[in-house]
Amino acid sequence: MRAVVLYGTAGSLVLTALVAAPAGGDDRWPAVRAAVRPAAETRGTVLAAQRAEDEGIRFGRCPGHQELPAGLRCGTVTVPLDYARPDGRRIKLTVSRIKATGKGPGGKKVARQGALVYNPGGPGASGMAFPLAGRVPEWKRLAAAYDLVGYAPRGVGRSAPLSCQDPRRFQQAPSKSPTHPSKAYKKERAAQARAYARGCAKRSGSKLRHYHSLNNARDLDVLRAALGEHRLTFLGASYGTYFGALYAAMFPSHVRRMVFDSAVNPSPHQVWYHNNLDQSAAFEGRWADFRAWVARHDRAYGLGNTPKEVLKSYERARARLASRPAGGKVGPAQLHGALLKAAYYDDVWPSRAQALSAYLKGDPKPLVRLAAPQPGAAVPEENAQAVYTAVECNDAPWPTEWRVWDRDNTRLARTAPFETWDNAWMNLPCAFWPVPRQQPLDVRTGPGELPPTLIMAAERDAATPYEGALELHRRLSGSVLVTEREAGTHGIGGGENPCVNGYMEAYLLEGRLPERHAACGPHPEPRPKARGGRSR
């Protein structure tokens, strides 16, 4: 469930994740080889939280960063690598914070309500930049009442970073992305996945098994204690909703308020193989939404006046890039990656359509700017991929027979070809994973066990399909679901929809929720860009 944080023109935090796909796994999955040791790990979490509360966090200058706002401060919190052995090896997680401004609209004094901790998802994404959200209008009211706190989860960035391969070998470009791969190509990708899994074990050693969602939830409780918060106020997006849900089930008495933005389906059966299949199926619908929008604006882009014609333009570009990569770095896989973001966020629709249009008209520069790998990003991207793989592979059993993957993804690709196989290749190292797996927690809370929580979801979100929000709502007693109808942007809190933002602010600032399931209309569609980049 990879998540990426983008800062849109409206100042929204746009969050993306990867988790996906179809029905029909295989009954002969391997037995879970590592049972959760609840008693020892519970004691270890209590001890780690007590230590963190005593030590606190010493916030100071943020290392490795320049020209940041004066109010942004960074520190670390220490957690056990293995909660069953809290006196054993420990690791440090990096934390960032901007204190509550205390100033509401018109300079009105606002009472501080504590810390609002944020996670953008992934697995593998860092929330270290989150406190900067308080600088944009959509977040100022929350920034007045809360210290905005971000952090890098275990394995991410400076937080005991994971690596599975040399970053210099990570960005393979140009590269292929066949919609219906041949047997030879499948064999090649399976060999790569096996080698990648071996690399994770070789480069990370014995610590690899401790990077999973249950420990992410435990780390969150230690962070809560280190911040001096008796109860946690948390905003999780995408994958952040999954381990946030684990936290709610594991530490219900430690919850003050929780927002789940773009919820992952937490059903143990779904985590993670079937979630990834469902995601691939949903991406097909969102890809169709983008093509329909491009077709409606054919006068601006000239890619076709029907979704089918736009698809033909895309396929024509893929074929041309396969024979002659743009800028020597953009092949079919890089084109696909750039357009996959359009299935996450509709605010990038104009830039993607414009780049595709320019390329087909003989100007590859806009596409190269969007899609070519950036050498300076190799290290963080390799790190994010390593954490993503470790967490998802460690979290649950996966099918270990290639024929199961081949059967399910071949079947799905007949109706959802856009993302199915690329999603499969991303997750295939889990078929060859060399360390023990966890048993997914059956997330459930009964009446009165957990304070009321807020779930927000866009109806056509592909990265975390809408059924996940419904399932989480069923499992968390007292939760309320707010739906953005006829919309599909991934990560809707603090975005372009004032209705959604109103519900989130009412909850976080006043503890007020609608009595039942609430709905908001969609935010406005993006406007096409005229030549020169101006919106019409």
Residues with catalytic function: 238, 461, 490
pLDDT interval class at 67 (50, 70, 90): low
* CA nearest to 492, candidates 262, 279, 282: 262
State in words which class domain 42-161+209-271+440-520 has.
Answer: alpha beta
| Cα dihedral sign, 263-122-255-147 | negative
Name all contacts of 299-305 with Cβ < 8 Å and 24+ positions apart. 300/353, 300/528, 300/529, 300/530, 300/536, 301/353, 301/354, 301/356, 301/357, 301/528, 302/357, 302/361, 303/353, 303/356, 303/357, 303/360
Query: What mean pLDDT do residues 196-215 have?
Result: 97
Given a cut of 50, is residue 135 above it in pLDDT? yes
Model confidence at 104, in pLDDT bands (50, 70, 90)?
A: confident
Q: How far apart are CA 158 and CA 12, in angstroms?
A: 25
pLDDT score of 531: 55
pLDDT digits (tens, 9 = 90+) for 254-280: 999 999 999 999 999 999 999 999 999
Phi-psi region of 461 (alpha: psi -120 to 50; beta: other; left: phi over 0): beta
The CA distance from 424 to 26, in Å, is 16
The string of pLDDT tens digits covering residues 291-314 is 999 999 999 999 999 999 999 999
Report the relative pairing of strands 73-80 and 5-7 from DSSP bridges.
unpaired
Contact 220, 48 (CB under 8 A): no
Write down the pLDDT at residue 65.
63
Confidence (pTM): 0.92
Q: What is the model's pLDDT at position 22?
A: 30
Return the higher-pLDDT residue of 12 and 166: 166
* 8 Å CB contact between 425 and 230: no
- Helix-helix angle 349-360:332-344, to 10 degrees: 150
Q: What is the mean pLDDT of residues 110-132?
A: 97
Compute the average pLDDT of residues 55-74. Answer: 84
Q: Over the stretch 417-455, which tens digit does the pLDDT of each residue have?
A: 999 999 999 999 999 999 999 999 999 999 999 999 999
- The neighbouring-strand residues paired with 480 are 454
Residue 176 confidence (pLDDT) above 50: yes
User: Across residues 182-207, what is the average pLDDT?
Assistant: 97
The DSSP H or E segment spanning 50 is helix 38-55
pLDDT at residue 453, as a whole number? 98
Q: What is the residue extent of each domain of the chain? A: 42-161+209-271+440-520, 162-204+288-433
Contacts of 499 (CB under 8 A, 6+ apart): 484, 520, 521
Q: Summarize pLDDT for 486-525 with one digit per residue, the tens.
A: 999 999 999 999 999 999 999 999 999 998 899 999 999 9
DSSP helix/strand/coil, 231: coil
- What's the pLDDT band for 21 if we cut at 50, 70, 90? very low
Q: What is the per-residue pLDDT for 55?
A: 97
pLDDT digits (tens, 9 = 90+) for 27-64: 333 333 333 467 999 999 999 999 999 999 999 999 87
Mean of all residue pLDDT scores within the chain: 91
Output the six-digit token pair for 443: 């997330």
Residue 347 has pLDDT above 60, yes or no: yes
